[in-house]
């Protein structure tokens, strides 16, 4: 949640990778705070891996399930 407030609404981000990352982070935080599983899932690829607390979560569905639990 430390990424909250990093969004840059109304600012064009095409070609600006830092701004694009900030917008993606803000969208992720917003979805997480709302418990929006679909919004969280949109941030991960089908074959993504998240390592959290020494445990590897494999795939979008496993990651999303763990984060909204």
CA distances (Å), origin 43, targets 32, 67, 69 = 11, 12, 17
pLDDT at 6: 40
d(CA 50, CA 62): 9
pLDDT at 47: 93
Average pLDDT of the residues of the chain: 80
pLDDT in tens, 23-55: 989 998 999 899 898 888 888 899 999 998 889
d(CA 63, CA 69): 10
d(CA 34, CA 11): 24
d(CA 46, CA 14): 25
The reported pTM is 0.62
In 3D space, the residue among 33, 42, 40 whose CA is nearest the CA of residue 65 turns out to be: 40
pLDDT at 59: 93
pLDDT at 37: 87
């Amino acid at each position: 949640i430390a990424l909250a407030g990093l969004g840059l609404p109304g600012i064009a981000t095409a070609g600006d990778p830092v701004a694009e990352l900030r917008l993606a982070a803000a969208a992720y935080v917003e979805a997480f705070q709302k418990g929006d599983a679909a919004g969280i899932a949109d941030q991960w690829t089908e074959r993504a891996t998240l390592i959290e607390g020494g445990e590897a979560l494999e795939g979008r569905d496993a990651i999303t399930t763990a984060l909204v639990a």
